[in-house]
Structure 1
């Protein structure tokens, strides 16, 4: 599935003036199993409680099995214990079971059944389940595609402060998918996610500031949010931050620093090497060598690229 959700600005021109600004959302979630607050001092104590029907213990045992902590990793067994807890109505287990079903870990991948368990947890107020259910509805995975329903669940999760949902809802508001198009409200949700350090939202917020969507155009503020996102390894932010430095947008022109950030972007996606090489021609051999070394140093420190 194409990761690009909407192209809001695209002005790719020759000779380095090639800002390619795209609203972007990565369609792949980071699937994190959720821990319960129940604590057992020994696995044997936990197993005994789980076998006795304690739903929290069943969920906790599933987590240990899924993560290979204190016991050998075994997704199939994890599914079994999550299912037992979920069938008792344990909200966290419902979510965790949905994750394994969606990923096909320890069980055949089954989006439709995953939707069932996410919906149960979502209806009880779990923000992660609400966000994931929204994503499945948006993309028609395991359920008929329904933008309005997706937006509804993203909003419920976003209003609880879920940064992923805030970013997702912001994009639906920008695109007018399932909701009336509203840049001002989109900006609010991007800001909420960005304040939590969400790299994609920081990029999207920077893009809106650059283009003056829902807010007065402000290159300096756009640059700030592009940098925050870029420092987390977000490739589109690295690229656009580099271009703004190279063209002196919102900051004094700095080709040396621009080359570094364009190099970081190119290390993740070779299509960005054209801009890097164009501006690199303006550096002296000594500057170019130093900038290349600095880019490698940053990349190794932050592990932006494999």
Structure 2
């Protein structure tokens, strides 16, 4: 049975219009979807709140994913403070969700792969009854059963428009889709696990690519993590990273160099990543280096 929501709005103490949802025909409490915001002339929602129990804790996943559960943690803290229900719908991606902020505008990108994974969960049809996975493509299923792909190797625009019809205002479809994602993440551990598995897979594949570009065999995890975070956010291109790494094997100098990339505009984020890495290092969780042959991290 499809899960439906009623939508209400109010003015928060910040003065922003805030939208909430409540599951229809249920005694479940009302929950916040997000607040309306204006970004570079676009209108959409944002929700960065972290609810107890709904923040990413690597200890919950290390038994299954090993060191990589820690490796993604600094970026998760920088992106969303680890919030499994972090949302924004106001920029060119039109829909961005998860503790790692997967963005819908990239064909075959992190959001697309994550959503494909979600649509394989047993309760997917409860949340998105009109979306199905066919030939590993997210498709819209019409009443007569006809399937229309919403994404391809070259575009995800149709899926973006399904989740958020426009950036001109906050529409009902945008609110309903946002409510579905938030409610699903809040109430289903398998949804949260899908977020984590997607992040692990993403960073594992990225490390293979970054090794081919930068030569990362034997490089300590803290240096590799900062590279991954720079590339995940997109705050520098490859040549700038390669220059920072050109230290004749002095990895501490390389790490310091990497921490200066983007510091004019993103110092707060860099501090979060660096401080989280230090915390993990002090706990003895980050004494690892990359093994390019196996594509895994091994103890130093």
Could you tell me the TM-score, scaled by structure 2's length? Answer: 0.26
Give the structure with higher Rg (CA). 1
| Greater percentage in helix | 1
Could you tell me the TM-score, scaled by structure 1's length? Answer: 0.26
Bigger relative contact order, structure 1 or 2 (CA pairs below 8 A, ≥6 apart):
2
